[in-house]
Structure 1
Amino acid sequence: MLTAVEALLSRLIGFATTPDRSNRDLIDWVEEFLTGAGFAVTRIAARGEDKAGLLARFGEGTGGTLLSAHSDVVPVTGQSWSSDPFTLTRRGDRLQGRGATDMKGFLACVLALAATLRETPPTTPVMIALSWDEEIGCRGIPQMIDHVIPVLGRPALCLVGEPTGMRPAIGHKGKASYHAICRGEAGHSSLAPRFANALHLAADLIAALRAEQARLIAEGAQDADDDIPCSTVHAGKMQGGVALNIVPDRAEVEFEIRHLAAETPGDILARIKARLPQGIDIAPTGAYPGLSSDPRDPALARLIALLPDPTPIKVSYGTEAGYFAGLGIPTLVCGPGEMERDGHQPDESIALDQLALCARVLDRLVRA
């Protein structure tokens, strides 16, 4: 099985599916592969762009297992790689290439399993969801999620294979992102006090974000199982101004809220807005739900029992898992590789033993 996984991972990494490119070549290839393996495959086209996702099912009956992955990878621009990032390279006991860990390694394991099902059918259906643009805010899965149950039926379990070192992750924070436009007045800098400076408004916004973060640390909801136990607020981009001697009339700030299940981004944003002066317009740009699963759920407990380390964890990054959980499907995040070591890093790689473990767990899961 591991030989098949490596060959499939090599093929998948050869598709440079960064968010600025179409993922159609990969989707075409996976669709043909799964159709040849006996799956019924449904393509979901993205609205307004040349991208797509897949929903696939093998087997009859009710229940079954849904295996979820995303097709996109983060860019390599500005990173120093020791080899071509879109060619799989073996480095001792590791396989190197963009997406090896996040998350084409899991997808390769899923496809290797899929190729065996016709010869030795599973006891319940096996389903696959493959999305696009997860890395830029889970933009694909919202367009797919309403099709999942009508197309596939209701699975007993959803496994989202983001890298956890094959440990069972039962939760993560939700996220909401925003774009703020700060509107000032253009004027000569020698008369600066007469004009509203848009960059000063942007600084006021960032000060409000920092104040709310301090409040969340001191007074907000807490979850000791999270790496950062409170909800977080983060400003990622600020830009404005055209010349030193011109008072800027426009500045922009992009920021995010990553929130615990006990808090809503709307309440956090309302407190931030209450601190702001006039002249700042804030618009949402994206969001995805958090995840909070019960490891005692029988479907999840069955999967957890297959893992070498069954201790439930929570992860700091976001995933598509909350969308499946929102359908009432018991959902767990568990996949090969270590996000902290390799996620989004140059020379991203994955250990062969992680892939082997994942392949064994998936096989036992669908044939139990």
Structure 2
Amino acid sequence: MDSIRILEKLIAFPTVSRDSNLDLISYVANLLDAHGVACQIIQSEDGHKANLFATIGPAVTSGVMLSGHTDVVPIDGQNWTLPFFEMTERDGRLYGRGAADMKGFVACALAACLKASKMTLKTPLQLALSYDEEIGCIGVRSLIGMLQLAPQRPLLCIVGEPTDMQVATGHKGKLAARALCKGREGHSALAPLALNAIHLGCDFVAALRRVQDRLARDGARDGDYDIAYTTVHVGKMNAGVALNIVPNLCQVDFEIRNVGADNPHEILDGVREEAARIAAEASTIAPEAAIDIDITNTYPGLDTPVSSQAVAFVKSLTGANNTIKVAFGTEGGLFSRDLSTPTVVCGPGSTAQGHKPDEFISVEQMRRCDDMLEKLLQRLADHQLPGAH
């Protein structure tokens, strides 16, 4: 079964992050089982979703792990001209939600696993499929916990996010937070006697913009990124019940995406100081004024040394002469930090095609990924790996 036919099956599973991925996981487990490959299923606490881990080859040896997430972003509000949970092949492109991000790589990885099941590998091939990556690399953490207790940890990890098959050695870290701005409600006809929480929220957003300006002007730089400095972004503001009520609560969701030289928690400490100053000024109107900030999610960046054996090895599989860093986050930072596993990001398709209507991946990109993994299988059979012994 080739990668394109597998992709067709995978796209048909509507694995939006808010929904279950169990049907897709069951399909993968059954497909591998039919080829003699056993799987470990790690269910979420509520049993609604699951990770999958499989090993082909000698289980007593560290292997090369192919990592992918099974969830996709929603199609709500998007103007698709083609079916979103049905693969459409047209003019050398394969359309459907998740085609690029990142069921294309998962399909190639599964096709490689089926080939590996018929080979005698001296070094194992491992497959790690996760859930809830799109909402903050959440699901993979239980899979990493399992691997932390395993006798061997992966020798190398390839995260197959879409990079146009370029070898990416890094991505920024992310800290997501929520600020709850507390004012005092009142009738809008007497608005000056109340404390508008939206005004507090706007003052807080202005403070975040000042932090961003300082980082852009004076902050650490990493020229390998499109945006070379740490960014601060406000994504949501929720407040208000009715126009004639001065709102007493305003919720602001924001994030910090940091380059390796910056500590996002130190930046957040500065943000908290600004929030406390704003609330103190407002307390002259309403003593209960406050801006409380909670971290809602965080994951580390990835910064694998370009000179490492792991990077040289993956470059030898793709034929690449250079490396890149990607703007989006991945599970790679967690694998690197929590397992001390050298990790690179390399997969078919372009992130420019993900998260949008009529998402697609090209047949040419799928074939290039198939070729990379075919070379990997030969190395696993020959035991030609960085650090293998």
TM-score band, normalised by the shorter chain? over 0.9
Counterpart residue identity of residue 234, structure 2: A
| Stretch deviating more after TM superposition (323-332 or 163-172) | 323-332
Residue aligned with 2:214, SS: helix
Percent identical pairs in the alignment equals 45
Of 302-311 and 155-164, more deviation after overlay is shown by 302-311
Residue deviations 1:288-334 (CA, integer Å, cap 9, x gap) = 11000013222321111222333110000000001111111110000
After superposing on structure 2, the runs of 4+ consecutive aligned residues of structure 1 that deviate more than 3 Å are 149-152
SS at match of 1:263: coil
Confirm or deny: 8 A CA contact 2:116 2:377 kept in the other structure: no
1:68-113 deviation line (CA, Å, top 9, x unaligned) = 0000011111111121111000011111111110000000001111
Distance 1:132 1:153 in 2: 23
In structure 2, the residue corresponding to 1:305 is in which secondary structure? helix
User: Does residue 330 of structure 2 align to residue 319 of structure 1?
Assistant: yes
Match of 1:22 in 2: 20
Give, in whole Å, the separation in 2 of the partners of 1:210 and 1:96: 38
Q: What is the letter of the counterpart of residue 322 of structure 1?
A: G
Displacement after TM superposition at 1:143 (Å): 2.0
Supply the AA of the counterpart residue of 1:280.
I
Matches within 5 A, 1:226-265: 226-265=225-264
1:106 matched to 2:117? The reply is no
CA–CA distance in structure 1, aligned partners of residues 357 and 31 of structure 2: 29
Structure 2's unaligned 5+ residue stretches are 280-289, 380-389
Structure 2 counterpart of 1:302: 313
* Deviation, structure 1 residue 221: 0.7
Which residues of 2 match residues 1-368 of structure 1 at below 5 A?
A: 4-60=2-58, 61-151=60-150, 153-276=152-275, 277-278=278-279, 279-326=290-337, 327-340=339-352, 342-368=353-379
Aligned partners of 2:315, 2:302: CA distance in 1, in Å?
Answer: 17
Distance 1:362 1:55 in 2: 18
Q: Could you tell which deviates more after superposition, 325-334 or 293-302? A: 293-302
Cα displacement (A) at 1:136: 0.7
The answer to whether the 8 Å contact 1:182/1:201 transfers is yes
Residue 7 of structure 1 and its aligned partner are, at CA, apart by: 0.7
CA-CA distance at 1:365 after TM superposition? 1.3
Amino acid at match of 1:204: D
72-81 vs 303-312, which deviates more?
303-312
Per-residue Cα deviation, 1:122-144 (whole angstroms, up to 9, x for no partner):
33100011000100111101222
CA contact (8 A) 1:65 1:366 kept: no
Question: What is the alpha-carbon distance in structure 2 between the residues aligned to residue 249 and residue 164 of structure 1?
Answer: 45
Confirm or deny: 8 A CA contact 1:167 1:310 kept in the other structure: no
Residue 282 of structure 1 aligns to a residue in which SS?
strand
Q: Residue 362 of structure 1 aligns to which amino acid in structure 2?
A: L
1:49, CA displacement in angstroms?
A: 5.0
Is 1:185–1:198's contact at 8 Å kept on the other side of the alignment?
yes
- Between the aligned partners of 1:300 and 1:126, the Cα distance in structure 2 is 18
Provide the C-alpha distance between the structure 1 equivalents of 2:315 and 2:151, rounded to a whole number of angstroms: 24
Instruction: Tell which deviates more after alignment, 3-12 or 144-153.
Output: 144-153
How far apart are 1:267 and its partner, in Å? 0.8
What's the secondary structure of 1:119's corresponding residue? coil
Partners of 1:157 and 1:300 within 8 A in 2: no
- Once the two structures are superposed, residues 144-172 of structure 1 have per-residue CA deviations (whole angstroms, 9 ceiling, x without a partner) of 21112434722221000000000000001
Q: What letter is aligned with 2:4?
A: E
What CA distance in whole angstroms lies between the structure 1 residues aligned with 2:367 and 2:265?
43
Moved more, 35-44 or 330-339: 35-44
Cα pair 1:19 1:133 within 8 Å, conserved: yes
Query: TM-score, normalising length from structure 1?
Result: 0.96
* Alignment-derived partner of residue 284 in structure 2: none
Q: SS at 1:306's partner residue?
A: helix
Amino acid at match of 1:338: S
Structure 1: stretches of 5+ with no match in the other structure = none
Query: What amino acid is aligned across from residue 356 of structure 2 in structure 1?
Result: Q
Task: Write the letter of the residue equivalent to 1:334.
Answer: C
* Aligned AA (1:234): H
- 8 A contact 1:124–1:366 mirrored in 2: no
2-structure distance, mates of 1:310, 1:160? 19
Distance apart, 1:39 and its partner CA: 2.3
Equivalent-residue separation in structure 1 for 2:212 and 2:344 (angstroms): 29
TM-score by length of structure 2 reads: 0.91
Distance 1:153 1:129 in 2: 15
Contact 1:166 1:337 in 2 (8 A): yes
Look up the equivalent residue of 2:5 and give its one-letter code.
A
Distance of 1:150 and 1:295 partners within structure 2: 29
Counterpart AA for 1:27: I
Deviations 1:168-200 (A, max 9, x none): 000010001111111111111222222111011
Corresponding letter in the other structure for 2:321: P
The one-letter amino acid paired with 2:373 is L
Counterpart amino acid of residue 357 in structure 1: R
